[in-house]
Structure 1
Amino acid sequence: MDGQTIQQYAAARTQELPGAYLDHPFGPDWDVYKVRGKVFMLQTEITGEAIVVLKSAPTDSAALRDAYTDITPGYHMNKRHWITLNPGGTLDKQLIEDLVTESYLLVIEKNLPKAEQPVNPQTFGQE
């Protein structure tokens, strides 16, 4: 899958997440997706190819990097808590959508007080 497609799938998923929005605090070369002011996804092509950077639990990020050659440590982010989705052939649409959702829920759960959470991260998607 090429990087443009990965970015399109990831961006489309954000439109389904309550309170998610696109911002450009780092300039036009970075699409920064936030929920209540907290970053959960970044997209750029400054590396020469279209990539998506997502938050991930440290144990999950290590397992994902081991399982998929197209998942690497987070570009310009904490390498334990962020992953990069790269173009290649090992990522499918469902995995991309799941990783975007997981990043969103991690940010809500870890970075927002309960009163500011747009969804309950424990039950989101279970209805």
Structure 2
Amino acid sequence: MDAQELQKIAGDFTVDLPGADLEHRLDPDWDVYKVGGKVFMLMTDLPGRPIVILKADPDHAAALREQYADITPGYHMNKKHWITVEGGGTVDEKLVKQLVTDSYHLVASALPKSNQPRT
């Protein structure tokens, strides 16, 4: 999957996630996806490389980085808790959707009960 397709799949998939909001507050070149006011996904273009940045359980993040060449530590984020996904031969649509879902649930589950989205 190429990097443009990666971002399209990740962005389109968030539409079905309860309480997910898209913001451009950091910079117009950054798409910031939040749930309950907390970031669960970012998208931007590094020079020639569109990327998706997602939160991940630290143990799972380490395993993903070992298993997939197109998954690296989170760009400009805590390298233990965030991953960067790039387009390439090791990432497919099913994996992208699972990573977005996992990131969303990881952040949403840590919200106070009053801020958790209704599913």
TM bucket by the smaller chain? over 0.9
Runs of 4+ more than 6 Å apart: none
Task: For 1:12, give the aligned amino acid.
Answer: D
| Residues 29 and 46 in structure 1, CA contact (< 8 A), matched pair in contact too | no
| Residues 32 and 42 in structure 1, CA contact (< 8 A), matched pair in contact too | yes
Match of 1:93 in 2: 93
Offset of residue 119 of structure 1: 4.1
**In 2: Cα distance, 1:100 partner to 1:11 partner:** 9
Residue deviations 1:35-67 (CA, integer Å, cap 9, x gap): 121100000003431000000000000000000
Residue deviations 1:47-99 (CA, integer Å, cap 9, x gap): 43100000000000000000000000000000000000012111110110000
Aligned pairs (5 A) from 1:30-41 = 30-41=30-41
Report the identity percentage. 58
Match of 1:67 in 2: 67
Unaligned runs of 5+ in 2: none
Given the two structures, how large is their TM-score scaled by the length of structure 2?
0.96
Unaligned runs of 5+ in 1: 121-127
**In 2: Cα distance, 1:106 partner to 1:20 partner:** 13
Match of 2:107 in 1: 107
**In 2: Cα distance, 1:18 partner to 1:84 partner:** 23
**In 2: Cα distance, 1:89 partner to 1:67 partner:** 12
**Higher relative strand content:** 2
What RMSD over aligned residues (CA atoms) do the two structures have, in Å?
1.1
Match of 1:124 in 2: none
